[in-house]
Amino acid sequence: FINSCSCKFPCNYYNYKTSPSFAKLHTKNKIRRLNLKENYDDLKVDIEANYAIINFFIKEREILIKRQVTVGSTANIYSDIGNTLSLLLGLGMINLILLKFSSLLL
């Protein structure tokens, strides 16, 4: 799924490990809590058939987050190239552009 993510940048993806489990409802406690005063057997069947309690537990406190962010635009790339050339070769980006235009004119 992560490799075929079609989200636009920035793209966020959250992954949780799950393990299903279940337990029966405590119908006596539910009857007392709802303050119901009907036949116990009918209430027990009704509660077991129509009520559910869902609890989510995260076992690991670690959450894996994968985030894709656009690193740079075209202007940033040209700026980085110009900075590197001026640092290493003493050439500026403007000098390269002038050399390109002068070679086109000749």
pLDDT above 80 for 103? yes
Does residue 59 sit within a domain?
yes
- Residues 28-33: contacts with CB under 8 Å, at least 24 apart: none
- CA contacts within 13 A on the Cβ side of 78: 7
Both 91 and 106 in one domain: the answer is yes
Backbone angles phi, psi at 68, to 5 degrees: -110, 125
Residue 56 has pLDDT above 60, yes or no: yes
Task: Note down the domain range covering 62.
Answer: 8-70
Q: Alpha carbon of 104 to those of 32, 34, 95, 97: distances in Å?
A: 91, 87, 14, 11
Averaged pLDDT, 67-87: 79
Q: What is the pLDDT of residues 5-53, one digit of tens each?
A: 666 665 666 666 767 776 666 666 666 777 666 676 776 777 666 676 6
If you search the block for the tokens 């962010």, which residue do you land on?
A: 69
Q: What is the mean pLDDT of residues 56-60?
A: 69
pTM over 0.85: no
Mean residue pLDDT of the chain comes to 72
93 and 82 housed in the same domain: yes
Q: Is the same domain home to 51 and 80?
A: no
